[in-house]
Chains A and B, each alone.
Chain A
Amino acid sequence: MRRAIGALIRKDLILQRRTPEAAPAMVLFSIGTFVLFHFALDEREVSGNLASGILWVTLLFAAVLGINRLFVAEREEGGFDGFLLAPVDRTSMLVAKATVLFLFLCAVEVFVLAAFAILLLGPSLQPALVVVLLLANAGIAVIGTLVAALAIQTRARDLLVPLLAIPLSVPLVIAAARACAPLLTEGGAGALEARWLAVLGLYDLVFGLLAYAIFDFLLEE
């Protein structure tokens, strides 16, 4: 299974390097959204709950863009069939795709957070944010892979991905936004609350195990 996961991740990274589609689009989309928030809210600087909310809504919507593209090459260029013909565990597709999405999100967030700090955020960024980002990324990666695999074989893929991903990530956004809010507060950062990290961890665990158990059924024909 390690062999197959490695092959799939490698293939996706080469493809992404050669024809960068998803990741740059996600960064540009996020920056555009910050500009929109600036004008829509008429705020030069944001902090606290508002900053946290803007950041997470933007990141989630940017993630939806990436989720939409996740399986396009597999579907349109026969990747599913090629993979299914190989003597490998089918769950390796889930692990590989979730890892790729996770890496994408991390890479995108480096740029998005920098842009956020420059454009909108009042207080300076705290290193503790990384913990929240990593836990939330894991959750988005798992649920995003599931949603993308569900939607890719349907006629209404572009519609279904956001419609499914947004309600499913509500607990994730609640926990991530609440956890980040004290870190983004003006005048000395508040402490990271353990219970929100616990919710994020629980979410990752529940959907990770669930995806592991049922992903095979999405690949079969």
Chain B
Amino acid sequence: MRAIELADLGRAYGERVALAGVTLTVQEGETLAVFGANGAGKTTLLRILATLLRPHHGSAKVLGHELPREGWAVRGKIGFLGHDPLLYRDLTARENLQFHARLHGVRFERVDAVLDAVGMSARADDPVHTFSRGMLQRTAVARAVLHEPQLLLLDEPLAGLDPGAAALIDPLIGGGTRVVISHDPTFRGDLALGLRGGKVAFCERGATVDDVRALYA
């Protein structure tokens, strides 16, 4: 089954075109790796897929549903991890996750399970504003996978994590269908999308490290 189908997808902010002409298909279980310099349109693409932004041009189909018309059917099936951890700073990690569990209709046992999985059980009852960058990221990952999403949208998921924490997170965010924004040229996906100035520089299965490096040149 096709998890993501984009045809000539575009988005503008006023007159500034942030993304244009993205056409690709991601099969279920595959990883789409997105590369590009700052401002290349990576985040815009991710937010469109997460139903947080409306596409202005072309069409986007996620998990078999047309965006933005059927966005309601997609929400709840995607796990989104952006720059922002999307956690309230004055709530504890557990309260934050319980809040999201209520919104998603997930049982509270699952909250303890994911907190344990990201190694945050010991600090679960501390307010989020006392967390370090890495702990924040781990809690954010726990939030993103809380409702066992079918599709993960990840913006540099390992940013700010030490190798130990990265190893802990990896099984949680690996395996399923994913879109991963990365700045690591050696990162391998089934399909690689390179963006430059909102336009597609390459979109192929066999992109090399040199292809990716050329984006930042």
Contacts and interface: CB of A to CB of B under 8 A. Distances in A.
Contacts of A42: none
Given A78-B85, A81-B86, A3 B91 contact: no
A136 B138 CA distance: 45
Contacts of A73: 88, 90
Contacts of A7: 99, 102-103
B90 A19 contact: yes
B103 A14 contact: no
A85 interface: yes
B213 to A, nearest CB: 32
B104 A81 contact: no
Contacts of A88: 103
B91 A83 contact: no
Contacts of A77: 86-89
A86 B74 CA distance: 10
A79 B91 CA distance: 12
A100 interface: no
A87 B88 contact: no
B76 A87 contact: yes
Contacts of A82: 86-87, 100, 103, 143
B103 A86 contact: yes
B53 A86 contact: no
Contact of A81 (B52, B102, B103, B127): B52
A81 B82 contact: yes
Given A86-B76, A87-B72, A3 B86 contact: no
B74 to A, nearest CB: 9
Interface string B84-118: 11111111000100011011110000000000000
B54 A79 contact: no
B4 interface: no
Contacts of A79: 86, 88
Contacts of B87: 77-78, 82
A6 B102 contact: yes
Contacts of B90: 15, 18-19, 73
Interface in B13-48: 47
A4 B102 contact: yes
A15 B75 contact: no
Contacts of A220: 54
Given A78-B87, A221-B52, A221-B54, A85 B80 contact: yes
A84 interface: yes
A78 B105 CA distance: 20
Contact of B103 (A15, A18, A83): A83
B19 to A, nearest CB: 14
B99 A11 contact: yes
Contacts of A18: 90-91, 127
Closest 10 CB pairs of A and B: A87-B76, A7-B102, A86-B103, A78-B86, A82-B86, A78-B84, A87-B75, A11-B99, A19-B90, A18-B90
Interface of B: 47, 50-54, 72, 75-76, 78, 80, 82, 84-91, 95, 99-100, 102-105, 127, 143
8 contacts: A18-B127, A73-B90, A77-B86, A77-B88, A82-B103, A84-B52, A85-B75, A85-B76
